Structure 1
Amino acid sequence: MYVRAGILTSEIGSRYGESPALTFEGETETFRTLDLAANRAGSGLTAIGVSAGSVVGVLAYNSAEVVHVWLGCERAGLVRVTLHSHFEMETHVTLLQEVGATALVFDSRFSDAVDAHRENLAGMALIAIGDNPPDWATSWSEVTAKGSDGELFLDANEADPVFLQPTTGTTGKPKPWIVTHRSWAAIVNQNLHHLDTFSTDLPSVGPNDVMLHVHALQWATGFQLLYPFIVRGARTVLMDDSEFDPEALAQTLVDEGVTALLLPAPMLTPLLDLIEAKGGIDHKLNRLVIFFATPELLVRTSEVLGDVWCHGFGSTEQGAATTRLLSSEVAVNADRLASVGRAASPFFEVAIVDHTGSRLPAGEVGEIVVRSAMSTSSYWDLPERTENAYFAHNWFRPEDVGYLDADGFLYYVDRAGDSISTPHGTVYPHAVEGAVLRHDAVANVGVVGLSNGEIVAAVQLKPGFIDSVELRREIESAGSAGLKPHELPTVLIVEELPTVLGGAKVQRGVLREALEEQRR
């Protein structure tokens, strides 16, 4: 089946006209302005020789231009590849070479990194967005000046790529996942259903909503929540994600009347600390999507912000909150706080299976598998990886372990490859990390098993706390509740944890190597 390239946002100008669409650094574009900017972006890239079907790398912090690039690439049939800002430039260069990119659009703040690797980027058009573009790159204004306001009409096979979304790199080298026209429509549809059924007290997402992106657009907040709000005529607000500032976030929530937000738990905790210190803020949040939270953090969120949250779960290859726990579901049964909820829409299936792909009964731990139109795709030029990613009948394997209860609520245990085998049983780092995070001094933590058999919890402290033997013992004591003897960790205080996505995920493999090196 063929579809119009960029169809999801093709009518935003005519539908919503002069309504506010996109706010960044105090300036707001209307939907008509955004629509024209997308047309100029797509046609401008084509005008400088980036033809339909070409792969275009995008390396940038949040900005209005990034949104223009996303929409414009889709309309012009260009395959965007997201480059996560937390990776080293060498990783980006390797990925761009592997996917045969013909252009790289980069934030001018990455100019030095790009310049250092220009020899390996030979043949690619280098395009700089933002202030002070380097002399050796084409400025974004030059690109858009060659573009046209006119609509782009391009037919695309629904099985063709729209963009490539690399995995986050927590389990090794990032792998580019192909998002097709069909799977992209399914992702947006899944997220719309998820948002529209957030609460029986809320109307569907619409023009009265304001979606704030403070985390990286190039990761989950953009992947999941940029398009659903745009296609419904809601206003999008962007904050620069190069550094996280809880004070600026709290002020923006109030000033912009934000109704929707996605935050990973490591960013939510300092926000709650700040709001509590202020004695509360006058906010309008009614849809807060949280990832990687503990039950204690969810309870605290209700106390500070109200029952405005859901706890989401998913993977890069799905592109949406695949399961989600609503605060209203916890009101019915508090035990559900330990779960990541159930399917976020009727278009998505989840099951627990054994190593052969056979279903396991409720309560039994096994491999989490999922099935929907969102994951009907493949990894770019990785046929063996793609083949191993599926069981029969299109069941996708995110490489996570968990179990379902009798009501279909999913309980996440850990990444399949991160489990630690000991003589006394298996240790799942996720469970230990959740226990350690109960202590008020802990900002973030990564748990790994060392070659000597020791289970170590590497703890990054919140500002104001100082490492001491007494504090480490306190953290170990606070984290011991609910853990078995073989799961109890040795707490080690570290200055910084190796993380991706602004601290959202700890790179356990990198952490393990660093700790092993210290032990030598």
Structure 2
Amino acid sequence: MPKPWLAQYPPGVPAEIDPQRFASLAEVLDTCCARFADLPAFCSMGTAMTFRELDEDSRAFAAWLQSAAGLRRGERVALMLPNLLQYPVALFGVLRAGLVVVNVNPLYTPRELEHQLKDSGASAIVVLENFAHTLQQVVAATPLRTVVTTQVGDLLPPLRRLLTNAAVKHVKKMVPPWHLPGAVPFGRALATGRTLALQEVTLNHDDLAFLQYTGGTTGVAKGVMLTHGNMVANLLQVTAWMAPNMRDGAETAILPLPLYHVFALTACLAFFGKGAQTVLVANPRDLPAFVKTLRQTRFTAIVGVNTLFRALLDAPGFADVDLSHLKLAVAGGMAVQQVVARRWKERAGVPLVEGYGLTESAPVAIANPVTVEEWSGTIGVPIPSTEAAILDDDGAPVALGEVGEICLRGPQVMPGYWQRPDETAKVFTADGWLRTGDMGVMDARGSIRITDRKKDMIVVSGFKVFPNEVEDVLALHPGVLEAAALGVPDPRSGEAVKVFVVRSDPALSEDDLLAHCRRHLTAYKVPRIVEFREQPLPKSNIGKILRRALRDDVAAAA
């Protein structure tokens, strides 16, 4: 097919990458740890871990998983961790052992956690003890055989480790009581693993690397199967795309997005592949601490979402951060607002480089060249070895400049959903195009602009929220007769969840309803706006609630 977008590629960026360069992410790890051995790979809470140290610790954890925990190739291991040094150690340990990573949001409610652990069939989990009380509530209902717990400071130097863990537990009171009989401390697992031999596992592109969960149209989260081939391809695609700005072994990147999110995960792997030092920010919502980290770091790249960049621009002290070394600021996960892009360029001197992708494409598929001088307002062009097309409902291409569904093909595209062939069939055309659910147009130069979403998905600060899941939770409340959820514009988070509720109990209050939602939904899924209605919600002739009619009401009111 014609690829007009190739004319926009900067010098040195190839039209195609060689996905056969590495057989697996484990081979990427081996290569990078040998090449950049004494350089810092990750930094957290002021402590750096070199590539050599990561190599040693991840080997120890892999050996422990194989020999002490008795896990066999292909079994799933859940990681319920924020951005701490434990994450890359556990991540690469799991992959090196021939196992599959299941990323878990640490802020999940018991209901959400139970579903993901049961659906994935996870045999083991690594959990920060701050969230162990959530696991305690559901562990008996899951297939878990092995639980590894860790404390915030476990991989810090000895004195800092003791002080940090004591402060988190006893001063800040951030660890609710928990009881998980048989749980193994992370430090003990590493110590034992160092005495064991790692059984090398030969992995190839078809082996599963991640089950990355994403919301479903039915309200049930689906596991996206991402193979080693998918992840190696996207790592090579992104590193090739960054090449004009990023030198091997010479960069420092700020990563404040949670690593359990696929956008941050791939950014982390790409920076790792470049031999960069990645500074992990565990809690970017603590803006004073985040700004302090920025002031103390000579960084050359930063990855974020629109809401994060806006929060930084408004944060006290950010004006004093030295941005003179910054080469690359990448924005993804949600649409960048023009005012944020303009303010960032004025403050930082470099533009926000916007990209696009989805969990099903590992995730990066389309991006603006890193050499752009201004924010473009488009999501960019397909990256190397990626095809994009604008198709109609029948899978046929639309005319140039006309609106259709953005569809993708490339080596980073998933083989399908975990144990859901029905859902897999829905998102692929007969000739292998992945339907993204986003509507857009392509211009003559191959640049793509999103115009609307075909799905009802809501995006809150880069995180997907599916209305069905929110509605299912609302329906659990005995005081709710009918409910519908949709996204409404929000100046900070891009979108917010608004719900329309018809009460069966007139005494039901907004506070009661939101308290119910907080018990069952992660914070970003909890409705921001509640509108009670006295009349039944608008419905189709078969009784389906018409969200589009409610959207029209919102637009008319605005």
Q: TM-score, normalised by structure 1?
A: 0.78
Matching residue's letter, 1:37: D
In the alignment, what sits opposite 1:405? 443
Match of 1:174 among 199, 221, 231: 221
CA contact (8 A) 1:450 1:512 kept: no
Paired residue total: 446
CA distance in 2, matches of 1:337, 1:219: 25
Matching residue's letter, 2:222: K
Q: 1:412 to 1:502 in 2, by over 3 A?
A: farther
CA contact (8 A) 1:4 1:153 kept: no
CA distance in 2, matches of 1:517, 1:246: 38
CA contact (8 A) 1:376 1:394 kept: no
CA contact (8 A) 2:25 2:232 kept: no
Matching residue's letter, 1:320: P
Q: What's the secondary structure of 1:270's corresponding residue?
A: helix
In the alignment, what sits opposite 1:159? 206
CA contact (8 A) 1:213 1:238 kept: yes
In the alignment, what sits opposite 1:286? 327
1:417-448 C-alpha deviation (Å, 9 max, x unpaired): 2399xxxxxxxx98x73xx63xxxx5654376
Structure 2 residue runs of 5 or longer lacking an equivalent are: 1-19, 152-164, 170-177, 459-485, 503-513, 537-558
* Greater mean deviation of Cα atoms: 82-91 or 126-135: 126-135
Matching residue's letter, 1:234: A
* Greater mean deviation of Cα atoms: 319-328 or 175-184: 319-328
CA distance in 2, matches of 1:451, 1:364: 37
In the alignment, what sits opposite 1:469? none
Q: CA RMSD in A?
A: 3.2
CA contact (8 A) 2:295 2:320 kept: no
CA distance in 2, matches of 1:325, 1:302: 15
CA contact (8 A) 2:118 2:143 kept: no
Alignment of 1:214 with 2:256, yes or no, is yes
CA distance in 2, matches of 1:75, 1:414: 41
Matching residue's letter, 1:143: A
Q: What's the secondary structure of 1:101's corresponding residue?
A: coil
CA distance in 1, matches of 2:200, 2:33: 15
CA contact (8 A) 2:150 2:186 kept: yes
Matching residue's letter, 1:273: D
CA distance in 1, matches of 2:31, 2:53: 12
Q: What's the secondary structure of 2:388's corresponding residue?
A: strand
Alignment of 1:39 with 2:59, yes or no, is yes
CA distance in 2, matches of 1:175, 1:502: 20
Alignment of 1:29 with 2:49, yes or no, is yes
In the alignment, what sits opposite 2:35? 15
In the alignment, what sits opposite 1:341? 380
CA contact (8 A) 1:352 1:360 kept: yes
Alignment of 1:446 with 2:496, yes or no, is yes
Q: What's the secondary structure of 1:10's corresponding residue?
A: helix
Q: What's the secondary structure of 1:144's corresponding residue?
A: helix
Match of 1:143 among 189, 193, 211: 189
Structure 1 residue runs of 5 or longer lacking an equivalent are: 421-428, 453-493
In the alignment, what sits opposite 2:159? none
CA distance in 2, matches of 1:152, 1:34: 18
In the alignment, what sits opposite 2:89? 68
Q: What's the secondary structure of 1:317's corresponding residue?
A: helix
Q: 1:443 to 1:182 in 2, by over 3 A?
A: closer
Q: What's the secondary structure of 2:92's corresponding residue?
A: helix
In the alignment, what sits opposite 1:423? none
Matching residue's letter, 2:308: M
Q: What's the secondary structure of 1:417's corresponding residue?
A: coil
In the alignment, what sits opposite 1:387? 425
In the alignment, what sits opposite 2:295? 254
Q: Aligned-pair distance for 1:36?
A: 0.4
In the alignment, what sits opposite 1:196? 243
* Greater mean deviation of Cα atoms: 295-304 or 365-374: 295-304
Alignment of 1:207-356 (within 5 A): 207-241=249-283, 244-274=285-315, 279-283=319-323, 284-291=325-332, 292=334, 293-326=336-369, 329=372, 331=374, 337-343=376-382, 345-356=383-394
1:77-99 C-alpha deviation (Å, 9 max, x unpaired): 01111112343222221121122
CA contact (8 A) 1:24 1:238 kept: yes
CA contact (8 A) 1:340 1:412 kept: yes
CA distance in 2, matches of 1:409, 1:237: 32
CA contact (8 A) 2:126 2:149 kept: yes
CA distance in 1, matches of 2:409, 2:249: 32
CA contact (8 A) 2:312 2:318 kept: no
Alignment of 1:25-104 (within 5 A): 25-47=45-67, 48-104=69-125
Q: Aligned-pair distance for 1:118?
A: 2.4
Q: What's the secondary structure of 2:90's corresponding residue?
A: helix
Q: TM-score, normalised by structure 2?
A: 0.73
Q: Aligned-pair distance for 1:376?
A: 4.2
Q: 1:517 to 1:102 in 2, by over 3 A?
A: farther
Q: Aligned-pair distance for 1:194?
A: 2.1
Q: What's the secondary structure of 1:350's corresponding residue?
A: strand
CA contact (8 A) 1:162 1:179 kept: yes
CA contact (8 A) 1:190 1:320 kept: no
1:453-510 C-alpha deviation (Å, 9 max, x unpaired): xxxxxxxxxxxxxxxxxxxxxxxxxxxxxxxxxxxxxxxxx99x9999986xxx5xx6
